[in-house]
Amino acid sequence: MLSAARHRNKLRVGHLRGNRFVLRLRGCGAAQLPAARAILDVLTRRGVPNYFGEQRFGARGDTWRIGKALLRGDHAEAVAWIAGRAGPHDKGRILKARQLYDAGDYMGASEAWPGGFRPCIRLCRAMAKSGGNAKRALHALDRNFLRFYTSAYQSRLFNDVVAARLEHLDEVELGDLAWLHRNGAVFLVKELELERERAIKLEISASGPLFGARMSVPQGRPAEIEAEVLAREGQDAEVFARPGPLQWQGSRRPLRFPLGESTVEAGLDEHGEFLELGFTLPPGCYATSVLRELLDDSRTSELDDVEPDESDPSELDE
């Protein structure tokens, strides 16, 4: 950063135009440059799958499980995932705290948690005080903190819809609620031939669900796909329509996003070879989604015919 200065107007939600990323990938270099360029060309033309990134689901990847349990009213399950259920990702004091919770020693667990895990400490103390009443213990946690978990479950279901439509992600279908990338407007696709051309140009994309009481619902096959995703989870849309403090209003989100100003170059420094990527993304989109596509081993067979780069690696640091 070269400079920073105060501005009289606050930056509010919706004001962000986008994000610019410059990333260096280690363990690769000039030999992988042609393949990387080919993949970026495809993503620029077809768009990037708009998955919520792994960071949305926490270090253990389980925040969506907590949200699912909360929406179903399974308080014991939700509390167990927050404070217990020791797993392979847990180490040291965190592992010990979760093991104590799993053993029913709630006060011991509260004392074992590191100081930075205050919600877990409060929750374990509340469980000890309430005699293991999970529903009552959850009142020890801030409502917005718990809403983060139900939002994560929304995100997980959206990702499932993206995966279900991945093969034809650059197309729209009759009944789709299409997303207009220029301004975020959403409209029902009624004339397929007219809108298909706009989808090819990445002016519009099919949208997916962030389930909630006021979410607009598509028609036809797109609606069936979303219903199938819920059915596999043992859910229906009604679970998101019930009134309650942890519910969300719901909205639509594009299934893909445009990749802007993409560049990739090979380089060499004291740490070895690297690829330096540059690109811009719309607000709310994850750079990890771009990396996911670049590092996907399944793309290797698609790029077998890409000619290797003949650049001399010794010239790459100039």
Tell me the CATH number at 270.
Answer: 3.30.70
- Same domain, yes or no, for 228 and 265? no
Domain around 126: 63-143
- Same domain, yes or no, for 38 and 83? no
Residue pLDDT tens, the chain, 318 long: 688 888 777 777 666 678 899 999 999 999 999 999 999 999 999 999 999 989 899 999 999 999 999 999 999 999 999 999 999 999 999 999 999 999 999 999 999 999 999 999 999 999 999 999 999 999 999 999 999 999 999 999 999 999 999 999 999 999 999 999 999 999 999 999 889 999 999 999 999 999 998 999 999 999 999 999 999 999 888 888 887 888 888 999 999 999 999 999 999 999 999 999 999 998 888 899 999 998 886 554 444 444 433 333 333 332
pLDDT of residue 2: 80
- Same domain, yes or no, for 217 and 300? no
- Same domain, yes or no, for 210 and 170? yes
> How many other CB atoms are there within 10 angstroms of residue 222's CB atom?
25
- Same domain, yes or no, for 238 and 288? no
- Same domain, yes or no, for 247 and 271? no
- Same domain, yes or no, for 244 and 262? no
In CATH, what number is assigned to the domain containing residue 185? 3.30.2350.20
pLDDT of residue 291: 92
- Same domain, yes or no, for 43 and 87? no
- Same domain, yes or no, for 94 and 36? no
- Same domain, yes or no, for 194 and 244? yes
Q: Last residue of some domain: 110, 143, 176?
A: 143
Q: Per-residue DSSP letters for 271-308?
A: TEEEEEEEEEE-TT--HHHHHHHHT-GGGGGGGTTPPP
**Residue 9 covered by a domain:** no
**Residue 153 covered by a domain:** no
pLDDT of residue 228: 96
Give burial (CB, 10 Å; 0-12/13-18/19+) of 282.
Answer: middle
How many domains does the chain fold into? 3
**Residue 128 covered by a domain:** yes
Task: Quote the tokens at residue 167.
Answer: 């093969």
State the Cα–Cα distance between residues 64 and 222, nearest whole angstrom.
23
In CATH, what number is assigned to the domain containing residue 93? 1.10.1510.30
pLDDT of residue 238: 83
- Same domain, yes or no, for 35 and 112? no
